[in-house]
Amino acid sequence: MTAPTSSPPQVLPARASVAVKALQLSNWLSRALGRGSGTVAGGRVGLALDPALLATLANGRRVALVSGTNGKTTTTRMLVAALSDEGGQPIASNDTGANMPAGHVAAMVESFGSPTAVLEVDEGYLGRVIEDTHPRVVVLLNLSRDQLDRISEVRMLAERWRAAMDGLRSPSGRTGPGTVVVANADDPMVAWAALAAPEVRWVGAGQVWHNDAVGCPACGGRIVFGDQGSWACDGCDFARPPCDAWIEGSVLVTADGSRHSLAIGLPGQFNRANAAMVAVAAPCMTDDGAPGGPGPRLSLPAVLDRIATLDQVQGRFASSMRNGHPVRLLLAKNPAGWVAIFDLLDESRPPDSPVVLSINARIADGLDTSWLWDVPFDRLAGRSVTATGDRRLDLAVRLHYAEVPCKVVPDPLAAVDRAIDMGSRGGVDSVPGADGGIDFLGNYTAFADFRKRI
């Protein structure tokens, strides 16, 4: 292994140049020592030497930021796919999911000459990254409870987002086109934040989880959800904004009445929602925003074409073979995510197909497992369920009270083998699932560990 030879362009200030060199050296060392891909470690070193490094690296690039509790990684990947033919150069993107500034800096250095950056941003860092990168587009997906021991409560996050959106009205020391915010109008917490932004494209992308949005963030009143996706506060005039585009089943409808099929390679309604956000966001990235200008170079149908072929993201939704059976890997990190995954199971599997559930509670997952009780596990009734992961006993107790029988197997691979065996013996056709496959559902580190092992 040799030390990195690529050097930053001449335009970097001396301090940033030193920081980038140190970052590259750290990454090289980290890889050489076998301590992982090193992107976060290198990014931290770079930012320690030059706190303005992210701003310096973002200067002159067209940046899109994607944030929200669920769907960040997939939506970021879709947005990269949608924009990847623009300009013929690689797009800087933190596709490993390192979604704090250290990861952003590392991604920018990795694709040094790229004029475009698409960054997934941790919900808590959005304000800071907006200030540093002066983004052309910010995509706000959803906000719901997640890792309450580590991340702020939903309302605190919504307020911080709102302050960041308000900050877009008076960008400090920058010129050029302003920021377009693409916001999910079906999530009141997102709407509360985005209403403070100067320019918003509202997308009715849907939201299966309403439990964190009942108290009105404006007046403390009650938000009442209607049948057709509408919602409104019963105490003030805070209500679902009129949309520029919205989802009807698997069709994206735009305000001018045109209809576009959301037939994409990734499964589930939540991925159609992510696609709808990208279909609106990607054209904004190709629009200079000049009054009377040519408008977006990329059309909405062209975006949907480009993301249609995507069929897995960082191993999510992909199937791996185990003893001749496909094992589909699904990630769900919080109650809203699990509900979305259960919808996906109902849509894509027979009602008795086997599932393996793996739960950890390490730092990256959140240390508290109480959230398991917000997940409607009774929806798995009828399936052969195997519980595994570090916190399989918490899961077993939860399933016990959901009256869903489960088998506890400490080792995740052994758990999958057991599920395959159950499926082979159980089904009429002697095969589990429609395609002979089973599903592995894990939270963050449980998923990552299993993906490495299978």
Partner 1 sequence: MSNPGADSSLTIAVVYPDLLGTYGDGGNGLVLARRASWRGVGVRLVQANSGRPLPTADIYCIGGGEDGPGITAAKALRAEGTLQRAADNGAVVLGVCAGFQLLGHSFPDSADRSHAGLELLDVTTHKGTGRRAVGDLVAVPTPSAPRRAADQPLPPLIGFENHSGVTTVGPEARPVAQVVTGVGNGGGDGTEGAWSGRVFGTYLHGPVLARNTSLADLLLGWALSTSDGPVALEPLDDTDELALRGERMAAVERSGRSRVVRWFRGLRP
Q: Which residues bind partner 1 (CB under 8 A)?
A: 145, 148-149, 153-156, 211-212, 214-215, 217, 220, 222, 234, 367-374, 393-394, 396-398, 400-401, 403
- CB nearer to partner 1: give 111 or 152: 152
107/80 Cα distance (integer angstroms) = 13
Tell me whether residue 236 or residue 401 sits nearer to partner 1 (CB atom).
Answer: 401
Between 188 and 442, CB nearer to Zn ion: 188
From the list partner 1, Zn ion, none, pick the one residue 374 interacts with, judged by a Cβ distance below 5 to 8 Å according to partner type: partner 1
Neighbours of 41 (CB within 10 A): 20
Q: Identify which range of 122-130, 191-199, 228-236, 386-394 contacts Zn ion by CB under 5 A.
A: 228-236
219 binds Zn ion (CB under 5 A): yes
The entry of Zn ion, partner 1, none near residue 235 (CB within 5 to 8 angstroms by kind) is: Zn ion
The option from Zn ion, partner 1, none interacting with 236 (CB < 5 to 8 A, set by class) reads Zn ion
Token pair in block for residue 152: 């702020």
Q: Can you tell me the distance from the alpha carbon of 78 to that of 80, in angstroms, rounded to the nearest whole number?
A: 5
Angle value at C-alpha 110, between 104 and 111, nearest 5 degrees: 95
Instruction: Establish how many alpha carbons lie within 13 A of residue 441's alpha carbon, considering only the half-sphere containing its beta carbon.
Output: 25
Is residue 224 a contact point for Zn ion (CB under 5 A)? no
Residue 80 or 189 having the CB closest to Zn ion: 189
Output the six-digit token pair for 3: 């030390």
**At 37, is the secondary structure helix, strand, or coil?**
coil
Residue 221 C-beta: closest distance to partner 1, Å: 8
Q: How far is CA 107 from the centre of its chain?
A: 17
DSSP 8-state secondary structure symbol assigned to residue 377: G
Place of tokens 């009807």: 248
Nearest-5° Cα angle at 350, 340 to 371:
30
Question: Which among Zn ion, partner 1, none contacts residue 398 (Cβ within 5 to 8 A by kind)?
Answer: partner 1
Minimum separation from the CB atom of position 240 to partner 1 (A): 18
Q: Least Å distance between CB 208 and partner 1?
A: 16
The residues, ordered by sequence, that sit 6+ positions from 321 with a Cβ below 8 Å of its Cβ are 327
Say how many CA atoms lie within 13 Å of 272 toward its Cβ.
23
Binds 50: which of partner 1, Zn ion, none (CB < 5-8 Å by kind): none
CA 194, CA 358: separation in Å to the nearest integer? 35
Choose among 29, 36, 89: nearest CA to 61. 89
Cα(295)–Cα(352) distance, integer angstroms: 50
221 binding Zn ion? (CB under 5 A):
yes
Q: Is 171 in the site for Zn ion (CB under 5 A)?
A: no
- Look up residue 187 and give its two tokens: 């999530």
Residue 215 within binding range of Zn ion, rule CB under 5 A: no
Which of 22/148 has CB closer to partner 1?
148
* Residue 145 interacts with, from partner 1, Zn ion, none (CB under 5-8 Å by kind): partner 1
Distance CA 389, CA 396 (A): 11
Residue 315 is classified by DSSP as T
For residue 308, the partner it binds in partner 1, Zn ion, none, with Cβ less than 5 to 8 A by kind, is none
Minimum CB–partner distance for residue 371 and partner 1 (Å): 5
Helix (H) or strand (E) holding 327: strand 325-331
Q: State the Rg of the chain over Cα.
A: 22
238 binds, among partner 1, Zn ion, none (CB under 5 to 8 A by kind): Zn ion
DSSP string covering 204-217, please? E---S--TT--B-T
CB closer to partner 1, 62 vs 240: 240
32 vs 214, beta carbon nearer partner 1 = 214
Mark residues 233-272: x for contact with Zn ion by CB under 5 A, - for none. x-xx-x----------------------------------
Task: Give min distance, CB of 337 to Zn ion, in A.
Answer: 27
- Cβ at position 149, least distance to partner 1 in Å: 5
Considering the complex, what minimum distance in angstroms separates the CB of residue 128 from partner 1?
21
Residue 391 beta carbon to partner 1: minimum distance, rounded to whole angstroms: 9
Residue number with CB closer to partner 1 (131 or 374): 374
Q: What are phi and psi of 341, to 5 degrees?
A: -70, -35
231 binds Zn ion (CB under 5 A): no
Please say which residue, 177 or 241, places its beta carbon nearer to Zn ion. 241
Please state, in angstroms and rounded to a whole number, the distance separating the CA atoms of residues 425 and 326: 16
Query: How many angstroms separate the CA atoms of 390 and 164, rounded?
Result: 37
The backbone torsions φ and ψ at residue 248, rounded to the nearest 5 degrees and listed phi first, read: -120, 105
Question: Can residue 32 be called a binding residue for Zn ion (CB under 5 A)?
Answer: no
154 binds, among Zn ion, partner 1, none (CB under 5 to 8 A by kind): partner 1
Which residues contact Zn ion by CB under 5 A? Answer: 216, 218-219, 221, 233, 235-236, 238
